[in-house]
Structure 1
Amino acid sequence: MTRASFADPAVMGELMARMLWEIEAVHFAPDEPYKLSSGLVSPVYIDCRKLLSYPRVRSTLMDFAAATVLKQAGFERFDCVAGGETAGIPFAALLADRLELPMIYVRKKPKGYGRNAQIEGTLPKGARVLMVEDLTTAGGSMFHFINAVREAGGVVEHGLALFYYDIFEQAEKRFTEGGVDLHYIATWKEVLAVAREEQRSDPKTLDSVAEFLDRPMEWSRARGGLEELLV
């Protein structure tokens, strides 16, 4: 079932950004910013889980994801696709189907009873695994799952996030030091560009969002939020 159109990455990023706006998965609120689980105060919030509720959107994104992985990593680089609990699981299943590969999923922590498993499914020793998440901010959650797969005997050198924040310096360092190439379709850059083009918010809001994307920690600190990214 492998399908890949190999569209230009910039085109795929812009189209995903438009999809996110169309399904109302993006929210800008600089006057009443969101406090994320990390403690970061942010004027932006994105809900990639909503993508699952729109068949044409999710199907197109799986084509984009398959094309991205095949073009950037290779056609025969993986033995298995893994999804992290919970948001990564459905996207991993959809992508595994596209790539005609087995799929496993990784719990946030061992089950606590029975086999006490953290990895669900069949993971042969030495299997080359593509780790999938719906989004990643700085890679902390993804590496939690990657480390679990590695401890179970899998080899993880590539990760895929449909959406990548791409605003934190710590992220690049984490993936480089962790030996993982991160692949993604869209970032906040594309989402903000579409917002400006389609006038999704007033200029003041868009400028405040742009300020956050340029200096996220300073923006958060000035509003009583996290001063150092921990995840």
Structure 2
Amino acid sequence: MTVTQAIRPEREISHAVARLLLRAGAVHVSRQQPFVLAAGWASPVYVDVRLLLGEPDLRRAVTELAARHLRAGFPDGGFDAVVGAETAGIPFAAWLADALDLKLRYVRKRPLGVGRNAQVEGGPVDGLRVLLMDDLTTDGASKLNFVRGLRAAGADVGDVLTIFYHDAFPGAGERLTEAGLSLHALATWADVLAADDENRLAREDRAEIERFLADPVAWSMRHGGRASLTPRL
């Protein structure tokens, strides 16, 4: 597993988030047919963070854990607004903005092309210090696109909050750092494996995850995915 450059919450928070993901059934393992992630990597496991959206106890819990992390890291506030990334980041951002009593905005993947042709919705962000929130981070490329839209609209954005960071593959931390961004990752693979005290992962699935994490790039290459940091054309 690569060394991340993410800002990690205290272990109690990260393990609690990992348990919520396991409880929601969000960790899907396929030993026969690999998943191909948006970044082009092949993986035997896929984390569907959106499953936390559906159950009120799960979404309340993850919102409170995210708020606790931010209150600890930014005791004097630090943000004027939470911005949800289209699409799954929007509801999580809305609940977090309520918990922290902050303004809410959302950012599209691209301008709408009609009306105001806006990429940022919900109100102006010019001069505001904003926190970008999304459900999942893999290689960080989509986050850079969202941040470009926010900065073009005048926002001061230097922090990204993600519920799960698929930190197996290289490049994301360096890419975000070069863009002047700090990634706050509530849970990673290490947390999922360490926090599975209820044995929700089958022994065979856990073994497959561990084999994958030992050399994820080689695993991806063997299963038809990307083999390097350079995306396939």
Q: 1:227 to 1:66 in 2, by over 3 A?
A: same
Letter in 2 for 1:65: A
Letter in 1 for 2:228: E
2:81 maps to 1:80: yes
Letter in 2 for 1:222: R
Letter in 1 for 2:208: S
Which structure is higher in helix share?
1
Post-superposition, which runs of at least 4 consecutive aligned residues in structure 1 deviate over 3 A? 194-197
The answer as to whether partners of 1:30 and 1:209 remain within 8 angstroms in 2 is: no
- Structure 2 unpaired stretches of 5+: 1-8
- Paired with 2:109 and 2:200, the residues of 1 have a C-alpha distance of 39
Please give the secondary structure, in 1, of the residue aligned with 2:130.
strand
Aligned to 2:33: 32
Aligned to 2:115: 114
- Paired with 2:230 and 2:84, the residues of 1 have a C-alpha distance of 22
Shift of 1:195: 4.4
Q: 1:60 to 1:75 in 2, by over 3 A?
A: farther
Shift of 1:230: 5.7
- Structure 1 unpaired stretches of 5+: 1-7
Please give the secondary structure, in 1, of the residue aligned with 2:53.
helix
Q: Which has the higher contact order (CA 8 A, sep 6+)?
A: 2
- Paired with 1:76 and 1:16, the residues of 2 have a C-alpha distance of 22
Shift of 1:229: 4.0
2:214 maps to 1:214: yes
Please give the secondary structure, in 2, of the residue aligned with 1:221.
helix
Q: 1:124 to 1:11 in 2, by over 3 A?
A: closer
Number of matched pairs: 223
- Paired with 1:124 and 1:24, the residues of 2 have a C-alpha distance of 36
- Paired with 1:175 and 1:146, the residues of 2 have a C-alpha distance of 10
The answer as to whether partners of 2:220 and 2:226 remain within 8 angstroms in 1 is: yes
The answer as to whether partners of 1:17 and 1:186 remain within 8 angstroms in 2 is: yes
Please give the secondary structure, in 2, of the residue aligned with 1:220.
helix
- Paired with 1:74 and 1:212, the residues of 2 have a C-alpha distance of 38
Q: 1:193 to 1:28 in 2, by over 3 A?
A: farther
Letter in 2 for 1:94: W
- Paired with 1:180 and 1:227, the residues of 2 have a C-alpha distance of 26
Aligned to 2:65: 64
Q: 1:107 to 1:124 in 2, by over 3 A?
A: closer
Q: Write the mapping of 1:121-160 to structure 2, written as runs, cut at 5 A.
A: 121-160=122-161
Deviates more, 1:115-124 or 1:83-92: 115-124
Please give the secondary structure, in 2, of the residue aligned with 1:163.
strand
- Paired with 2:77 and 2:17, the residues of 1 have a C-alpha distance of 26
The percent of aligned pairs where both chains have the same amino acid is 42
- Paired with 2:22 and 2:199, the residues of 1 have a C-alpha distance of 10
Letter in 2 for 1:218: A
Aligned to 1:174: 175
